[in-house]
Each structure stands twice: as structure tokens, then as C-alpha cells.
Structure 1
Amino acid sequence: MIPNIVRGRRVGGLLRYLYGPGRREEHVNPRLVAAWDGAGPLGALEPPAGREGRRDFRALTEVLEQPVRSGRNPPAKPVWHCSLRTDPSDRPLSDAQWARIVGEVMAQVGLAPHGDAGAVRWVAVRHGADHIHIVATLVRQDRRTAWARNDRWRAQAACRDLEERYGLHQVGAAATARRRPTAAEVNKARRLSRPESDRDVLRREARFAAAAAGPAEEFFALLRDTGLLVRPRMSSTRPGEVTGYSIAINRPDPIWYGGGRLASDLTLPSLRARWQLAPPPLPDDGRDLIAQVTRMVTAAGTTEIGMCDLLFVAARQVPGPGRRRILLRAADALDRAARPRRTQPARTHADLQGLVRMLYLTGQLADDRNTVAVLQLLAAIARLASALADLHDAHRQLHDARDAREAARLLRAAARSPHPGTRPLTPRRDRRDQPPAADPRARGT
């Protein structure tokens, strides 16, 4: 859940926008769902609609602005506006749940502590399924100014607690965290009927190229082979040296994304540090790579990031379009579950990375003669994903546990049929895929 806080001067103008149609007619059924302690029934505060459907905001504006007009030292921008948005993968929340969430945020920010009868006046307006808006005035009812110091940090901390309590997507920064699509990117994809945002597509292609490539030139070549536009960034102080890159989908007026905008471990310096680690030698017979990778996966339980790299490569090479689609979904799910939480031991990850690159270069994953070995490998990664889900459950990282469990389900489906090229596979659910019973905090009660 992501809070966004801005300050303003006019309550009436903000209320008219929140109750209006929105910039793209996205505001649906705007209504009050919560207000300050002592505000009375929400129905009495709701702006009434006239004959032509136009609402009258004068009464609500008046009651919100009254403490500001009588305040001892009101701020220049007395309107505090905070929007809260859930992740697209989260379940819809009821009005009552949003009301409790808003009350907790206002209390933890310090503007309206529980039981404080003299706190600021505020209302919460809902006009969409996945977000809500809080409108407050920064003068308390006892005429003192509420300066809302550290409000952004406090709101973030409140949201982290509420995510765990309600079983929502847990937003957390980490050294290898993926960059989530912005609301504008998600809305654009929906508007154009695209299944996912450009950022998600580009990150997946960069993950594959990073796992399969060696030096930067080969990385750029693989990206171009997939049909993407690639723009290396040259050093401004050392002529001829490439210091970064941007990629874009080949469309009119392409939108460019640097590696750091996709994920912090996809910057060119991070990739070069990874590629500099020497790959391990080939097995003695040069043909047993899949078995060697399977043994490494089975023996080492701390190589989730390497498993992601392996799945991104396998999704391009294994026979059968159905299995490739499933592996691509599994790779995305395991990437979400593994990368934000862990940093792998450098040598262990390098060993597996070297083997993944050799699997890509030798094409053994695409060889029909290796079908049984490939299925055994996928089953081993599925067991690792299940173990990762149990670990996240133990730490109450509910969203990461769900992603890891989804990856395990998809991998078991991909490993189920012994004939990879016959027909597309349909993942089936079984009892092992169901999350454990959540406690009342996870249900949002």
C-alpha cells in the first residue's frame, strides 16, 4: 500500500475533483467512508446533489475550514491530502475496512490520535476499488496548528503495519528489489488492452538476457534479438566507454527505461560485476549439465535468485509452447518472491549462473532427448519454491509466500506431463497450493 501526500490551500477545489468524473472518467460512485471523531453520521456530511446532479460542497467545506479560520497560527497551505493505493494483485477492501485503515493512518501520522477530541478534522473519500483519499485541515479543533512533521515517513510506517495486518502486498525496499509499475503505467496498459505494463515486459527480457549473456555486447545483442530497442549510454568523461543503457519496446514514440528503473540489480555496473565471476568448468563428458544443475538445486537451499535466472532461460528453450508459457509465469512469480528478500552468497550464485549460461549456449534444455532430466529439474525447483513459501509464511511475509506458492504450483504443472510438445498444459490446483489458514489479523478483522 503506497501513501502519497501533498499540501494545498483550497478544500473546496479538492472535494470537487474527488467527487467529479476524474481525468479519464475513472471516478465511480464517490462517497464518504470515514470522518473525524465527533463528526456525526456520514450521511449528514455527504455533499447533497441538486436536481441536475451537481453536488453542493459548501457545507462540508465550511465545517472542514472552520478550525483554520479560528486558528492561532494557521499554515500557508492548510489542506493535507493523502491518497492510499493497494497493489493491483490485492483483494478489494470494503468501505468498513478502508475506514479502519484510514483511522490508523491518521492516528500514526499524529494528526488524529485515537481518543483525541481536539484533533484535526478530516474526511475520507472513496471513488475507486483500489484507493482512497484523505482530506484534512492542519489546524486542530483546539485552534493549535498541526504541523504534521515527518508525515510521509510516519504514513509509510503505518502502511507497512497495515499490509501485514490485512494480508496485503508488502511493499519493502531492498538492494535487488524490482521497480513496480506506476499507476499511470498500469492505467495505460489497461486502456490499451495490454496484458501488462511496458516496464514488466522489459524487466523480463532484461532478466533473460542477463542470465544468458556474458559481456555487455552480448547482453545488448540478445535484447535486440528479442525485438527491443537498445540505447547504450556513453561516458561523458571517458570517450568510448559504455556506462549504462536504456531499452524500449519497438513502437512509435517508444518510452525508454534504464536498467535501474527496471530493477536495481539490472544496472550495467551490477551486471558487469556479476559477469566478471568466472563460470565453472564443463562436466567431464560435456553433456551432463542438466543433471549437474539439478544436483546443485537439490543440495543448496540458498540459491533462489539463481533459480529465477534458470527459469527465465528455460522459458525460452524448453520444448512445447504450453510449458514455456507456464515457466515464464513461474519465473515472474519466483522473481517477486525471492529477489526482494535475499542476497545470495556470491560464489554459490556464480556457480549456478555459469551453468545456466552454458545450458543456454549448448541448447540442452531444448533437446527432446533431455525431457526426463528437464522434468526432474523443474520438480526440484518446485520443491525449493515450496520451501521458500513456508519460510515467508513463518516470517508473516504473506504476499511473498503467495508468490512462491504460485511458482511451485506452476512448476509442478510444467513437470507433470512427460510429453512437452503435445499440448498446452493447464495448471491444476491441489491442496498443497492452498495457503495455510490465516489468523484474524490477516483477514482484516
Structure 2
Amino acid sequence: MIPKVAARGSDVAGLLRYLYGPGRREEHSNPHLIAAWDSARPLAKLEPLIGGQGRVEVRALARLLEQPVHCGQYPPAQPVWHCSVRNHAADRILSDGEWAHVAREMVAGAGLAAHGDTRAVRWVAVRHAVDHIHIVATLVRQDGATVWLPKGLWRRCQLTARRLEIQYGLRRVGPPDYTGHRYPDSVEISEAVRAGRSGTLREELRGRVRVAAAAAGTEDEFFDVLGGSGVLVRLRTSDHAGQACGYAVALPGVRTAAGQPIYFGGGRLAADMTLPKLRMRWSVASQVPPGSPRPAVNRHARVTALRQAGQAAQDAARAVGDSARSDGNGVQATMVAAADLLVTVARAYERDWCGPLHRAADYFDRAARGRYGWVAAPTSRSQELRAHARLIWLMGRVSGDDDAYAALRLVLQLGRLADAIAQLRAAQLRLHQARDARIAGLALRRVAAGGRATVAVTATSRPTPARTGGGGRRTRHGGHL
């Protein structure tokens, strides 16, 4: 359950007109009131009328909500408070009565209208979809006192939502763990849909940079791998030293209307992909020295490398499983290095950047990353895993039955490591990462068993429901829908 508090406004009628209207993409269906302030008249009498030409007349309801504002002592310039509360798509559909209870709990938890306070602010809850509601309130009490929103309002709403998730058996969101990427905006998603790509430009570049960071042992190799994968690289140098202090990447086939490449800096891709944080990965020399000759590439050598990596992944799974007795920094470094190993295996096994292993690697990476982009200090185990990742990259693509079998054995061991990470994240109450680790583990086991991993692509568009008329609202005599 996700509560989202919008910016305060001043136009109650305009907001109600939008909530009762068809929506920007005809997505509003059956808009109607489900709850209102304690001293309100019955909902049937508050429900807006349908006038001529099917227009919803919300002025009467807006005037009722605005009465305390007009009579208040020192009303604020922007007295309209708006909050939407949305459930996950996999949750059961709540009834109007259940959503009404959610609305009452949310306004009480936000400090706007305590239970039983008949002189509190006036508010209404509108439902125009099966999975969410909108709460509209005016920030002047009925006794004329202005309500000043308390500090930590966002946190209060989140705590209320967490309690309601448990009460109704909904999907638990969990407290924020500050490990997520910046969500793509509507422009990026629309551009990806028009271009027929399964992910946005930012997500594709993030995946290519992740592969290059895992495959490289030095900064120069990192930029060489990026250039070899067809990525445009632009360096940013410091003024006083003339050394590189940052980078930006772009795809040559994606350009602006003026014909310029669309660059994304490392920090805009992920918090741990800035150049200083990537240098921390390469601060300790890997077991394959930089600049050393390329290892012999044949099927026997590739099988040996994959088997050794599988043993290292098995040891890492055991270490993460025993993490209650292990150093936290070492476990974090191990998990991130294992994510690097998985992404190089995915690149060696699949030719498609959007294949099931690549998508599983993305979930694995989300489960392994540290908060706020924290990069743990390297350990001997993380160095070993990264050395195996770099070696698998240098060995090239999997091309035969023997090395494919060894690669799938390695994938299975990484699936068991994902299960251990899920248990660790659940014990840490980092529920988002625990869920991502479970998804990655399930997908990896299916790939190892020869099945197809059912991992959803990142850039998706939700279908727009068909608009329905009426919506249970009262119709003025002589009017029509």
C-alpha cells in the first residue's frame, strides 16, 4: 500500500472535477464517494449530481469542504490537502467499506482528523478505480482553527500504510531501504514504447555499464569494454589536475531532435556507478593482473573456469547463510561481487541483453546493493569472485554442451546464493531486497533446469480500463448520462 501526498493546492472544485472526470487517458471508472468527515451528512446526499450533457456538478460538495476555510481565523493560502492510496496489482480488491476504513485511518494517522473528533477538518474519499482511492481535505478545522501539518507527515502516512497492510493481508511494502534506482519518468517510458524496446534508454545503458564494470580490472579496461560494446563515452576532467573525475554514456542510435546523443552520467544510472565508486572496485588488484596476456580460450579452459566459479559461488552462499557470525562489510562486498559474477555469466551465456539471465541478474543486483550507493571495502572472497567474473568475460561466449552444462551449474549455485541473500534481507527487514532476491533465485533455478525464467521486463505499460458511465451517482431529474 503506497500513500502519496501531493503538493498542496487551492482549487477544491478543480480537483474534485478531475477525480470525477474521465481521467487523462479515460482511466477513471465508476467514481464515487466512499467516506467523509465524521459530522457529514449521508454520502448519498454528498454525492455530486450529473447535470446536462453528463457533466458532473461538484460545486455543492466543494462549497461544503470550503466552508471552514471561509470562516477560519487565519486560513492558509493553499488549504487543499490531497493524498492518494494505492494497492499493489497482486493484492485482492478491497470493498468500499474496507477502503473507507483505510481513508479514516489515513487522515487520523496524518494528524488531520482524529477518530471521534466531530470538529476536525472536512475531508472526502473518492474511489474511481479498483486499486486506489483519493483523499481530499481542507486544512481548517470546523471550529475555525488552522491545521498546520506536522513534521514527518510522509513518515506518519507510511507507518499507517504498513499497519493497514498487516491488517488486511496485503503485500507488505516494508520500510525504505534506499537501494532503488531512480524510476524512469513518463517521457522515457513513452520513448521506449515508441522505439519498441523492452526497457528505457537509461536501463539499457545501466546494464551495459554494469557488465563493463564487472568485466574490467582497471579504469582503462572499463572504458575499453564500454567502447567495444558500442557505447559512446564522454569523460569529464577536473580543471586543476586534468584527470578524469566523471563520465557519461550514450547509445549512438538514440539522439535528440537536434541530432545529438542523449548522455547519462554514471550517477544518473545508479548511485554506485559514479567513477569514484567504481574506482573503489578496482582499488585492489584482481587475481588476473591488468595488462596480462589473454588466457587460453578453449572449451576445456572455459569449463574449468566455470567450475571454479561455481565452487566460489557455493562458498559465498555458505558465508552469506552464516552471516549472523560474519562481518557485515565482508558479506556486503561478497554479495555485490557475486552480482558482478552473475552479470558476466549472463553475457557469456546469452546473446540477448534482455534475456532471462540478464533480467535475473538485474533483480540479483537490486538485492545485493548497499544503501545510499554504499560500496563495501574489498575482501579476499569478493576479490576472488570478481577475478572469476573477469576470467569468464575474457573466455568469451559459451559455445558447447560441456561449458553450457558448467555454466548452468554455476547459475544453480548463484540461485542458492540468492536464496541466502533473501533470508538475510528478510532478517534485516529490507523487504524490497528480500523480494528481489527471491525473484532472482526462482528465475535462476528455472534457467538451470532448462526452463524459461518468468521475470517481467522493466518498462511496462499498464492497460487502460474501459470507461463506464453512471458510476452509481445520483442523476438530476430530466438529466442523462
TM beyond 0.5: yes
Q: What is aligned with 1:441?
A: none
Report if the CA contact (8 A) 1:379-1:411 is conserved.
Answer: yes
- Aligned match of 2:349 in 298, 318, 329? 318
Q: What is aligned with 1:304?
A: 335
SS in 2 for 1:412: helix
SS in 2 for 1:52: helix
Partner letter of residue 50 of structure 1?
G
Shift of 1:203: 2.2
Q: Structure 2: any 5+ residue segments left out of the alignment?
A: 290-294, 321-330, 456-481
SS in 1 for 2:423: helix
Partners of 1:240 and 1:189 lie apart in 2 by 37
Report if the CA contact (8 A) 1:79-1:136 is conserved.
Answer: yes
CA separation of 1:231/1:365 partners in 2, compared to 1, >3 Å: closer, same or farther?
same
- Aligned match of 2:237 in 234, 237, 254? 234
Q: Quick check: 1:346 aligned with 2:353?
A: no
**TM-score, structure 1 length as denominator?**
0.81
CA separation of 1:186/1:63 partners in 2, compared to 1, >3 Å: closer, same or farther?
farther
Partners of 1:248 and 1:127 lie apart in 2 by 41
Partner letter of residue 65 of structure 1?
E
Q: What is aligned with 1:71?
A: 72
Q: Quick check: 1:329 aligned with 2:359?
A: yes
Shift of 1:256: 3.8
Partners of 2:184 and 2:139 lie apart in 1 by 32
Greater radius of gyration (CA): 2
Q: What is aligned with 2:283?
A: 276
Partners of 1:95 and 1:231 lie apart in 2 by 54
CA separation of 1:164/1:54 partners in 2, compared to 1, >3 Å: closer, same or farther?
same
SS in 2 for 1:3: strand
Partner letter of residue 452 of structure 2?
T
Partner letter of residue 335 of structure 1?
D
Q: Identity percentage over the alignment?
A: 44
Report if the CA contact (8 A) 1:167-1:398 is conserved.
Answer: no
Q: Quick check: 1:257 aligned with 2:264?
A: yes
Partners of 1:101 and 1:224 lie apart in 2 by 52
CA separation of 1:225/1:3 partners in 2, compared to 1, >3 Å: closer, same or farther?
farther
Partner letter of residue 268 of structure 1?
L
Partners of 1:45 and 1:340 lie apart in 2 by 50
**How many pairs are equivalent?**
416
Q: Quick check: 1:403 aligned with 2:436?
A: yes
Shift of 1:382: 1.2
How does 1:35-184 map onto structure 2 within 5 Å?
Answer: 35-85=36-86, 91=91, 93-94=93-94, 96=96, 98-128=99-129, 131-150=132-151, 151-159=153-161, 166-170=170-174, 172-174=176-178, 176-182=179-185
Q: What's the Cα RMSD here? A: 3.4
Q: Quick check: 1:205 aligned with 2:208?
A: yes
SS in 1 for 2:116: coil
- Aligned match of 1:377 in 401, 410, 419? 410
Partners of 2:130 and 2:241 lie apart in 1 by 51
Report if the CA contact (8 A) 1:233-1:244 is conserved.
Answer: yes
Q: Structure 1: any 5+ residue segments left out of the alignment?
A: 418-424, 430-445
**TM-score, structure 2 length as denominator?**
0.75
CA separation of 1:38/1:391 partners in 2, compared to 1, >3 Å: closer, same or farther?
farther
Shift of 1:361: 1.6
CA separation of 1:35/1:357 partners in 2, compared to 1, >3 Å: closer, same or farther?
farther
Partners of 1:327 and 1:180 lie apart in 2 by 22
Shift of 1:215: 3.5
1:197-225 per-position Cα deviation (integer Å, ceiling 9, x unaligned): 33332322222121112334433343344
Partners of 1:229 and 1:128 lie apart in 2 by 44
Shift of 1:147: 0.6
Shift of 1:77: 1.4
SS in 2 for 1:74: coil
Q: What is aligned with 2:328?
A: none
Partners of 1:180 and 1:211 lie apart in 2 by 23
Shift of 1:83: 3.5
Q: What is aligned with 2:310?
A: 294
SS in 1 for 2:49: coil
Partner letter of residue 380 of structure 1?
Q
Which segment drifts farther, 358-367 or 325-334? 358-367
